């Protein structure tokens, strides 16, 4: 029953609260990613699960067992390190055989098991190589093979692809997921790369300032973020500040900064509430002039960037807010700086949030 | 215009000089360190008939000198081996505590470990003798009248442990701190208990530090004279025999013994280094249960307590015991109350005016050490550049190997060979006295300067100098404005080492000093004359001088390292 559960776990380093009352459960066989900006406490959470760091408060369960007082080496949890930590004085084979050997397995079993995992990561031809003869990608494969050779059913990965080239990273993350799924492991993967998290995980737990902000599947995290930080951190968005003028059951009328009115979908808001409306670039359309739409915003092109199959256009609205639009190449529109544009979007495509107490800038910041 | 033109041409010559520094530096090193040794070998070879008569076929004593020689060599190597082994056993846990734990008072312990380095060895040997061998020392706790040990091999080992311990601990802490602790974490996530992880992962990774520390301890113990002379009693190590025969002017057998000692030491150095690099820690076996037990809390606290106790008992208190002794004997004997046995009377009031000779010897010691350090600075920095940046890889390796020779061989042998070459028996250029002492001290301390500077230079990424070049700096400006400030910590460390080493050097000094006296020699003389309280005073003066200078240089390092100036 290799599921992992954290209950109200906290950890302080001096005055800094690295992990603040985190509760999380990871199901048997699940691939979960801890995603967050650097310094958010995600690595500390991982180290607490492994036993390398002891929490100040809270409980850690593996299966049904409380493991707070179980030392690292008796937890049987595989750990993959960002900088590999492949023992430099041992060969690939000796590295992979290290775990089975300290567990006191028989020689035959060690041989069999090590060869099996080395085949899995396709390093069976490099068993006599020393770490300084390997590429970074190969080193991390050794790290991975070593972690699973002991037969542990839980795999912790601390930015396992962080030190690799973009290309290798792309290949290895798919291999990683395939391996975890083939072996039926429970994996917890720490990263700050949201694209990596999206591709590799069953669920993502987003962390910020030592806390878990939201745990959800990648598509739901993108379409139903619970606060403005998440909208900005997962994907991209432009923000309009405003006040609710009229609130229906599912529809709102919001007055934005220069007094224009927009309509958006949203529940649980009341008249007079301060809100932030977030617009994803791909949902904002450029409206041919004169066409009357429901939500019309006026502005001038401030900057354009040709990205490839679309052009990224930054439009400064008449009220001073900035909206980013992604316009597909196929629409054949050439944008000039200073050009007048009208923008439109559908009410249900906008995401509406209460205006954060700490202010919008602070709520969005990665710190 | 004129001025800048002159400056430019001056710089150009300097650059050339620096580039061609090998023309000056290599002959210098050859002349001061290698040629005397070569000369000693050739002396034995060409005068073998005479050597043979002295050593193997003396009309009165027959081959007694040969037998004595063998005994002394054997004793030297036995002591050095035992000292090295004990050092590693007691030094490794201490190094571990200092580099891996954080505890209250860690900084203080860290400084105390270095203390024996600041104590010149003759002062230290005297202190160790007082602690273990006098009735005022440890024996007074047990009410024994004579002291716990008498002078001899046991006390030599105790004295050598006290001054070699810091070398082992320092080499080990340096590398333990450097080894990525992630490897240990990785081992533990794979199921290894902390003892297993350390034994199979960390220990092999710190092997280079272990080798460096062991070689340092071994060679220091092998060549030491100042402390040994005071604690050896009727036993004599090989360097002491060289010193004694030189004083009796029995030159041929001294040269023969010097040759053997040098040959064996150099041979051992290279063979030991070669073998140690190829030796792998046996990793095959694991004992999960036993090592899991040892990883527990209790065995660990026992280990920590024991290594701290041993450090205090074997190293720290014996090194600093002179202070206690001087305090109790300050105004008179604590036993008879006789004032004439006190420090004050012996040093300041007695008719032989010991304070005057002490004062003269302090001046002499400081003069010698200053001149030696200046020479080392002038010739050591270009040599370091050559060792690290030299064009051919072979030359670099060769130079490094040569630089180890003066470190590996006993300084008494080095001093004796210089006496042979430059003195009346050889070229007849320098007779024993101030300049010959300077020459010998330079030969013995030069490698330390070069190694300190070279190690910093090696760790210096080329990007800073490259950046300076791309910004338009000429090679010499790069050296002056970028390289020199960046290697300043190494230069200062080398200065400390060469100064304190020269200040404390005893064996080589006695061999070539002629009529001048340095402080360590004064200490030895007074102990031999049984003026122990006076010797204690001279020791404390020597320690204080050495310590104040060390603090001063450390302070300088702090200033330079935190605020680089251009």
pLDDT of residue B275: 85
Put simply, the answer to whether A150 touches B191 (Cβ < 8 Å) is yes
Continuous H helices in A72-184: 72-75, 92-102, 107-120, 136-149, 166-183
Put simply, the answer to whether A89 touches B182 (Cβ < 8 Å) is no
Q: Which fold has domain B47-324?
A: MetI-like fold (1.10.3720)
pLDDT of residue B2: 47
Q: What is the mean pLDDT of residues B316-325?
A: 90
Q: What is the mean pLDDT of residues B284-294?
A: 76
Q: Considering only CB atoms, which chain A residues are within 8 Å of B186?
A: 79, 81, 85-87, 143, 146
Cβ-nearest to B185 among A85, A99, A146: A85
Q: Of chain A residues 92-131, which have a CB less than 8 A from chain B?
A: 94, 98-99, 101-104
Put simply, the answer to whether A74 touches B191 (Cβ < 8 Å) is yes
Put simply, the answer to whether A98 touches B189 (Cβ < 8 Å) is no
The CA distance from B537 to B565, in Å, is 41
Structural domain spans, chain B: 47-324
Put simply, the answer to whether B193 touches A73 (Cβ < 8 Å) is yes
pLDDT of residue A139: 94
Q: For residue B197, give the chain A residue with the closest CA.
A: A102
Put simply, the answer to whether A85 touches B180 (Cβ < 8 Å) is yes
**CB proximity list for B412: less than 8 A, separation 6 or greater:** B223, B225, B239, B240, B242, B243, B258, B507, B508, B510, B511
**Reported confidence tier of residue B10, pLDDT bands at 50, 70, 90:** low
**Reported confidence tier of residue B449, pLDDT bands at 50, 70, 90:** very high
* CA-closest candidate to residue A304, choices A313, A291, A316, A295: A313
Tokens of B142: 């047990």
Q: Look up the ipTM and state it.
A: 0.80
- For the entire predicted model, the pTM comes to 0.81
pLDDT of residue B8: 60
Q: What is the mean pLDDT of residues B228-248?
A: 92
Q: How many CB pairs under 8 A join A and B?
A: 75
Q: What is the mean pLDDT of residues B533-547?
A: 90
Which residue is it, tokens 């060679």?
Answer: B219
pLDDT of residue B488: 86
pLDDT digits (tens, 9 = 90+) for B481-506: 888 888 888 898 899 889 989 999 99
Q: Considering only CB atoms, which chain B residues are within 8 Å of A78?
A: 189-190
Structural domain A4-224, CATH architecture: 3-Layer(aba) Sandwich (3.40)
Best residue of A76, A85, A143, A159 to probe chain B, by most B CBs closer than 10 Å? A85
Q: What is the mean pLDDT of residues B75-91?
A: 95
pLDDT digits (tens, 9 = 90+) for B145-196: 777 888 889 999 999 999 999 999 999 998 998 888 889 999 999 988 888 8
Put simply, the answer to whether B201 touches A103 (Cβ < 8 Å) is no
Cβ-nearest to A81 among B182, B193, B194: B182
* pLDDT for B564 beyond 50: no
Average pLDDT along chain B: 87
**CB proximity list for B266: less than 8 A, separation 6 or greater:** B405, B408, B409
Q: For residue A146, give the chain B residue with the closest CA.
A: B190
Structural domain spans, chain A: 4-224, 236-364
Which residue is it, tokens 């205090």?
Answer: B312
Which residue is it, tokens 């079993």?
Answer: A109
Burial (0-12, 13-18, 19+ Cβ within 10 Å), B47: middle
* CA-closest candidate to residue A233, choices A366, A42, A324, A354: A366
A70 interface with B at CB cutoff 8 Å: no
Mind telling me how many Å the CA of A87 is from chain B's nearest CA? 6
**Reported confidence tier of residue B560, pLDDT bands at 50, 70, 90:** low
pLDDT of residue A72: 87
pLDDT digits (tens, 9 = 90+) for A163-219: 899 899 999 999 999 999 999 999 999 999 999 999 999 999 999 999 999 999 999
Q: Which fold has domain A236-364?
A: OB fold (Dihydrolipoamide Acetyltransferase, E2P) (2.40.50)
* CA-closest candidate to residue A225, choices A111, A334, A351, A63: A351
Put simply, the answer to whether B190 touches A102 (Cβ < 8 Å) is yes
């Amino acid at each position: 029953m290799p599921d992992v559960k954290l209950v109200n776990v906290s950890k302080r380093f001096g005055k800094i609260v690295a992990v603040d009352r985190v509760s999380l459960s990871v199901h048997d066989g699940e691939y979960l990613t801890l995603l967050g900006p650097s310094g958010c406490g995600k690595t500390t959470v991982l180290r607490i699960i492994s036993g390398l760091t002891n929490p100040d408060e809270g409980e850690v369960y593996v299966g049904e067992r409380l493991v707070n007082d179980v030392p690292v080496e008796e937890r049987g949890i595989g750990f993959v390190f960002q900088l590999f930590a492949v023992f430099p004085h041992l060969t690939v084979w000796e590295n992979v055989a290290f775990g089975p050997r300290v567990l006191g397995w028989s020689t035959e079993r060690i041989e069999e098991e090590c060869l099996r995992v080395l085949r899995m990561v396709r390093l069976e031809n490099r068993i006599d190589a020393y770490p300084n003869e390997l590429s970074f990608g190969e080193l991390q494969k050794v790290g991975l093979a070593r972690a699973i050779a002991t037969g542990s059913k839980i795999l912790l990965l601390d930015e396992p692809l962080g030190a690799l080239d973009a290309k290798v990273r792309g290949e290895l993350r798919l291999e990683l997921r395939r391996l975890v799924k083939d072996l039926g492991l429970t994996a917890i993967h720490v990263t700050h790369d949201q694209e990596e998290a999206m591709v590799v995980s069953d669920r993502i737990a987003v962390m910020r300032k030592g806390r878990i902000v939201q745990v959800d599947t990648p598509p739901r995290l993108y379409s139903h973020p619970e606060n403005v930080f998440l909208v900005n951190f997962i994907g991209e968005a432009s923000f309009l500040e405003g006040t609710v003028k009229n609130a229906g059951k599912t529809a709102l009328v919001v007055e934005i900064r220069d007094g224009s009115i927009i309509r958006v979908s949203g529940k649980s808001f009341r008249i007079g509430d301060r809100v932030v409306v977030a617009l994803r670039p791909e949902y904002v359309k450029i409206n041919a002039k004169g066409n009357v739409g429901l939500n019309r915003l006026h502005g001038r092109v401030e900057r354009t960037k040709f990205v490839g199959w679309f052009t990224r256009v930054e439009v400064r609205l008449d009220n001073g807010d900035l909206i980013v639009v992604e316009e597909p190449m196929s629409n054949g529109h050439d944008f000039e700086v200073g050009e007048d544009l009208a923008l439109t979007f559908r009410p249900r495509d906008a995401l509406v949030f209460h205006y954060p107490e700490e202010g919008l800038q602070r709520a969005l910041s990665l710190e | 215009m004129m001025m800048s033109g002159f400056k430019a041409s001056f710089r150009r010559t300097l650059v050339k000089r620096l580039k061609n520094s090998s023309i000056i530096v290599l002959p210098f090193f050859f002349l001061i360190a290698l040629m005397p040794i070569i000369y000693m070998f050739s002396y034995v070879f060409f005068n073998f008939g005479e050597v043979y008569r002295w050593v193997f076929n003396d009309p009165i004593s027959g081959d007694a000198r040969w037998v004595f020689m063998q005994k002394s060599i054997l004793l030297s190597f036995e002591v050095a081996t035992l000292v090295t082994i004990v050092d590693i056993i007691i030094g490794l846990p201490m190094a571990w505590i200092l580099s891996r734990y954080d505890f209250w008072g860690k900084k203080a312990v860290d400084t105390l470990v270095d203390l024996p380095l600041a104590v010149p060895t003759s002062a230290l040997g005297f202190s160790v003798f007082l602690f273990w061998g006098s009735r005022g020392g440890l024996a007074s706790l047990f009410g024994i009248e004579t002291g716990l040990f008498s002078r001899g091999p046991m006390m030599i080992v105790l004295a050598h442990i006290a001054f070699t311990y810091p070398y082992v601990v320092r080499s080990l802490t340096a590398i333990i701190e450097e080894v990525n602790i992630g490897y240990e974490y990785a081992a533990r996530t794979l199921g290894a208990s902390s003892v297993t992880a350390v034994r199979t992962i960390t220990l092999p990774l710190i092997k280079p530090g272990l080798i460096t520390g062991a070689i340092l301890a071994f060679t220091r113990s092998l060549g030491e004279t100042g402390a040994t002379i005071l604690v050896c009693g009727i036993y004599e190590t090989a360097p002491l025999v060289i010193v004694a025969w030189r004083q009796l002017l029995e030159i041929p057998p001294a040269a023969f013994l010097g040759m053997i000692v040098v040959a064996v030491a150099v041979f051992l150095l290279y063979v030991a280094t070669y073998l140690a690099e190829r030796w792998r820690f046996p990793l095959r076996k694991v004992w999960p249960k036993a090592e899991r037990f040892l990883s527990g809390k209790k065995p660990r606290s026992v280990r920590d307590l024991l290594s701290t106790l041993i450090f205090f008992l074997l190293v720290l208190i014996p090194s600093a015991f002179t202070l206690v002794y001087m305090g109790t004997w300050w105004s008179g004997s604590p036993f008879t109350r006789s004032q004439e046995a006190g420090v004050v009377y012996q040093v300041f009031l007695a008719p032989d005016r010991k304070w005057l000779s002490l004062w003269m010897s302090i001046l002499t010691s400081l003069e010698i050490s200053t001149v030696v350090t200046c020479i080392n600075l002038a010739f050591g920095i270009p040599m370091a550049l050559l060792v690290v940046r030299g064009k051919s890889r072979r030359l670099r390796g060769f130079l490094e190997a040569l630089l180890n020779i003066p470190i590996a061989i006993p300084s008494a042998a080095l001093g004796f060979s210089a006496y042979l070459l430059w003195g009346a028996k050889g070229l007849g250029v320098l007779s024993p006295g101030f300049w010959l002492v300077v020459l010998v001290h330079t030969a013995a301390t030069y490698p330390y300067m070069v190694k300190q500077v070279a190690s910093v230079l090696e760790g210096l990424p080329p990007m800073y100098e490259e950046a300076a070049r791309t910004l338009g700096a000429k090679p010499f400006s790069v050296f002056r404005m970028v390289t020199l400030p960046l290697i300043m910590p190494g230069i200062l460390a080398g200065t400390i080492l060469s100064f304190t080493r020269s200040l404390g050097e005893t064996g080589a000094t006695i061999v070539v000093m002629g009529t001048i006296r340095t402080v360590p020699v004064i200490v030895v003389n007074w102990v031999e004359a049984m003026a122990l309280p006076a010797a204690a005073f001279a020791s404390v003066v020597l320690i204080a001088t050495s310590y104040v200078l060390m603090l001063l240089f450390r302070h300088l390092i702090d200033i330079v390292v935190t605020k680089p100036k251009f």
